[in-house]
A and B are shown apart, each in its own frame.
Chain A
């Protein structure tokens, strides 16, 4: 779903100057400015949920961080480091059972930052959709070899087909249209979770 620039400014109370300043500082991705034809020539639209969430994040952070720091936090770029088991113990989003599933399925003790993002998302999904450890482990096994191919602007979706759960990694923009036998159960934007983790655990990401 899209929102026009005019409606966005009216809804959030930000000015044209702030919007364009945040775009120049890379706090708002250029690809979110989508130009469409209108009777006056062209009008700019944004992906509604993403832009509203991003503006909220910027407004929450702007008194604590400089524009440069915010750009780093909100950027989809992540450090090329390995997160150890000791580091993971600090993440309050992860339960011991989730960590055990990850150690078992991934067959290793240290993880890339993106693997940790997926770990946090799966923990949240498990909790919200009341999945058991076995189901969560099977879902992780299904995307184990795909995690390294996750790029900026993707989302993770859980769907159910004939009582079986599956995960889908897809671009954020655009609708997912399935037949009636498939039920969408849960979805989350990966960049958004990454930004949240960057704010909370500055050293790790």
Chain B
């Protein structure tokens, strides 16, 4: 299997490759299988991607499913049209946006996530000590002027509809549903529904509207 190296503008047709290195602007037109994919430039894919290892340090836009063993995101990765990610291990220190299901045994993010659904065994989204300018701060701004008008503005870093896993730790996340066995809702989270079959921990700066099923609840 051959390697593909791009430093300018290029196109990849469907096929099997050993290593794909994208440092320029690359369009992928079909389904691609590779041992390793490294993105430092701008990469867009219309077809399915299957790889043992993928690293996105640049910008990656995908319109079909991604199946990888390990995925490291340090740049910006966008999945469109309900494209799903399946991986054993995902780490994200950049930005990940997805309309589809993200499924991983281990998902660890310190970046910014906007996703419909993240599922797996262990999910850690730690934005409260993040590196992206917001530092996990929750801004409470009282606009107490113009006739006593008052409004509280809340900022969180990541927004996810559903998080479902055996072990969940989240910080600085806005979520609709969080379902798990061992769940920690950390600082500056806002969660509508938590369904926990084991121990639930909730930080005192977090807002949780409904709790179901937890055998033990600890408020820090």
Contact = CB atoms under 8 A, between A and B. Distances in A.
Interface in B141-180: 161-162, 164-167, 176-177, 179-180
B121 A41 contact: no
Interface string B177-194: 101110000000000110
A16 B178 CA distance: 12
A9 interface: yes
A23 B177 CA distance: 21
Given A15-B166, A41-B161, A41-B177, A20 B121 contact: yes
Interface in B69-125: 86, 103, 105, 119-122
Given A40-B177, A41-B176, A41-B177, A17 B161 contact: no
A16 B181 contact: yes
Interface string A1-45: 000001001100001111011011000000000000000111000
B197 A21 contact: no
Question: Chain A interface residue count: which class?
Answer: 10 to 19
A6 B195 contact: yes
Interface residues of B, number: 22
Chain A facing B: main interface SS: helix
Task: Among B105, B121, B167, B181, find the residue whose CB has the most chain A CB atoms closer than 10 A.
Answer: B121
B164 A16 contact: yes
B176 A16 contact: no
Given A10-B197, A15-B166, 8 more contacts: A6-B195, A17-B120, A17-B122, A17-B167, A20-B120, A40-B176, A41-B162, A41-B177
28 contacts: A6-B195, A10-B197, A15-B121, A15-B166, A15-B181, A16-B119, A16-B120, A16-B121, A16-B164, A16-B165, A16-B166, A16-B180, A16-B181, A17-B165, A17-B167, A20-B119, A20-B120, A20-B165, A21-B105, A21-B120, A21-B121, A23-B103, A24-B86, A24-B103, A40-B192, A40-B193, A41-B162, A42-B162
Interface of A: 6, 9-10, 15-18, 20-21, 23-24, 40-42
Interface of B: 86, 103, 105, 119-122, 161-162, 164-167, 176-177, 179-181, 192-193, 195, 197
A-B CB proximity, top 9 nearest: A17-B121, A17-B166, A15-B166, A24-B86, A20-B119, A16-B166, A40-B193, A16-B165, A20-B103
